[in-house]
């Protein structure tokens, strides 16, 4: 598995693409597009063990280690949340556990403008997803 996204999109490209979009309707559209580009998660992986607690929508995150790097996959049952999953996976995948633990995701989310433009429930879910990924890294 080379990437969590079927598109060849990394976090720097996502940030750059967001910077070109002035209107938040366009940014939401881009989030939805990113979510649609996620590699589908097998239904067998959508279970209580992989479910992210604290999200209003259904969100699942899985991980595997390859060559000292953690790779994440994920899915959601909601379009915009799937986009948030895609952004989060692009930010954290293919990094060492120590890189993941030291990464300040808030800086990236601020560059994109996420926290001030998503609902409080989605912001809580985004934090829960980040906490889950960092817990996986801490246990690795």
Query: Which entry of 55, 75, 80, 84 is annotated as an active-site residue?
Result: 55
Structural contact between residues 128 and 85, judged by C-beta atoms closer than 8 angstroms: no
CB hemisphere CA count around 4 (13 angstroms): 29
The β-bridge partners of 38 are: 5
Is 39 in the active site?
no
N-terminal to C-terminal alpha carbon distance within the chain: 19
What b/e sequence results for 25-38 when a residue is b if at least 16 CB atoms lie within 10 Å of its CB, and e otherwise?
eebbebbbbbbebb
The catalytic residues are 55
């Amino acid at each position: 598995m080379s990437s969590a996204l079927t598109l060849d999109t990394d976090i720097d490209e996502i940030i750059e693409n967001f910077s070109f979009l002035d209107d938040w309707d366009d940014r939401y559209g881009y989030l939805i597009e990113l979510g649609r580009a996620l590699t589908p998660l097998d239904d067998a992986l959508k279970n209580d063990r992989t479910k992210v607690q604290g999200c209003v929508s259904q969100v699942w995150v899985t991980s595997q280690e390859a060559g000292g790097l953690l790779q994440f996959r994920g899915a959601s049952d909601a379009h915009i949340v799937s986009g948030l999953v895609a952004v989060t996976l692009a930010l954290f995948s293919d990094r060492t556990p120590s890189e993941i633990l030291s990464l300040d995701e808030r800086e990236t989310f601020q560059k994109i403008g996420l926290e001030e433009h998503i609902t409080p429930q989605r912001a809580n879910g985004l934090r829960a997803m980040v906490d889950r990924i960092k817990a996986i890294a801490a246990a690795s």
